[in-house]
Amino acid sequence: MGWIEENMKSTHIRQIVSQAISLGMVISSALIIWKGLICITGSESPVVVVLSGSMEPGFKRGRDVPIVHRVIEVHEQRDNKEADILTKGDANLYDDRMLYTSSNRWLQQKYIMGRAVGFLPYVGWLTIIMTDKPIIKYILLGALGLLVITSKE
């Protein structure tokens, strides 16, 4: 009897460890994808979504907006071959010079955080739904955890 009980306990422990490793792999995969997006886009916020209606009618709620200030003019310096830019907010009437420091009339490239490399329509609604109704977020996370725990592999 003792040998069978020990075998069952060790099998049960192995299953728990295997499930914990699987759950850890799901979580680490999500983090790796997020960090990969940060590296690819060169921005700490690779996915930006309009959460409120404050930018309407230009940008509707739920739309992914990687850029809210567009380049309207490029100024190339002849001495060092660098290009400085002038930006304008989509909802503004005038350029953004009032946002720059008083000594700068142009935005230098070192202040640019990233650039848009893709567009996925309606992905922003997932963020809005999970923000507006947190129970959906918890149900989704619970379902993913349950899926990992109950999987046989």
Rounded to the nearest 5 degrees, what angle is found at the Cα of 114, between the Cα atoms of 96 and 90? 35
Of 66, 31, 61, 63, residue with least CA distance to 46: 66
User: What per-residue confidence (pLDDT) applies to 84?
Assistant: 82
Q: 11 pLDDT exceeds 80? A: no
d(CA 9, CA 47) in angstroms, rounded, equals 45
Tell me the average pLDDT across 45-71: 65
Residue 69 forms beta bridges with which residues?
89
User: What per-residue confidence (pLDDT) applies to 2?
Assistant: 62
Catalytic machinery residues: 54, 69, 96
CB-CB neighbours of 22 under 10 Å: 15
Higher-pLDDT residue of 104 and 32 is 32
Q: How does residue 51 score in pLDDT terms, banded at 50, 70 and 90? A: low
d(CA 123, CA 58) in angstroms, rounded, equals 18
Residue 70 forms beta bridges with which residues?
88
Average pLDDT, the chain: 75
**Are 61 and 52 a contacting pair, CB within 8 Å?**
yes
Q: Where are the domains of the chain?
A: 2-150
**Are 49 and 67 a contacting pair, CB within 8 Å?**
no
Residue 130 forms beta bridges with which residues?
none
Quick check: pTM over 0.75? Answer: no
Give me the percent of the chain exceeding a pLDDT of 70: 68
For the segment 87-134, what is each residue's pLDDT rounded down to a tens digit? Answer: 887 667 888 888 777 777 887 777 776 666 666 677 777 777 877 888
Q: How far is residue 79 from each of residues 76, 83, 99, 110, 111, measured CA to CA in Å?
A: 9, 11, 26, 17, 20
Q: 15 pLDDT exceeds 70? A: yes
CB-count burial class (<10 Å; 0-12, 13-18, 19+) for 76: exposed
Higher-pLDDT residue of 141 and 90 is 141
Of the candidate ranges 59-68, 74-83, 116-125, 144-153, the one whose mean pLDDT is the lowest? 59-68
